[in-house]
Homo-oligomer: A and B are copies of this chain.
Amino acid sequence: MAGTRLKPEREAEMYAAVLDLLRELGYDALTMDAVAARTRSSKATLYRQWGSKPELVVRALRHNKPAAFQEIDTGSLRGDFHAMAELSDDCKMEEDAALMRSLLHVVHENPDLHRALRELLVEPEMTGLGILLRRAVDRGEVAADHPAFPFVTHMLVGAFVARQLIEDKAVDRAFLSDYLDAVVLPALGV
């Protein structure tokens, strides 16, 4: 990003305000004007720092994430996966799920939001997961050509989406932990 950077505390404050507005108004009604008013900043600053509304919203979501997967390094794949599940508490997982659901509802009418979600949120998470998995291969825990390897994301996405779809509940730590032990690790032969 060009220009002067905001202080990290100010940036965090602005991201929190954006997520509050997203919960209150929804994506469509969240305007740059509303963000400027709530954060007592100018629209010029918002556009200079973030370029566009979808980028601002997705960066706020990303800032809200507890940590990148690749930062986890417990020494075993089982440990890493369970640490992943422990990154959030249940309230935050529920909140995140509600935010993501509301965005997924409008994504088809907002290709720029779709692109920002993919580039700034989905792809970095997949990269992080890839790094975590590659370490398991390097340690000899899983063969690099293990047939379940290309499907780890599919299994994880299934946990989140199907729980919502079937049980009408967001994933919580206990569920994720059971799923990892019952599905993901056995499929990988770990």
Binding site for B on A (CB under 8 A): 105, 108, 122, 126, 147-148, 150-151, 153-159, 161-163, 165-166, 178-179, 181-183, 186-187, 189
Contacts and interface: CB of A to CB of B under 8 A. Distances in A.
Copies, count? 2
Contacts of A183: 148, 151, 154-155, 183, 187
Contacts of A181: 147
Contact of A186 (B108, B148, B153, B158): B148
Nearest to A155: B158
Nearest to A182: B147
Contact of A158 (B154, B178, B182): B154
Contact of A166 (B105, B153, B166, B179): B153
A108 B150 CA distance: 32
Given A108-B105, A166-B126, A189 B186 contact: yes
Contacts of A122: 165-166
A157 B151 contact: no
Contacts of A166: 122, 126, 153-154, 157
A36 B32 CA distance: 45
Contacts of A189: 186
Given A122-B165, A154-B162, 11 more contacts: A105-B105, A126-B166, A147-B178, A147-B182, A148-B186, A154-B158, A154-B163, A156-B158, A158-B159, A186-B187, A186-B189
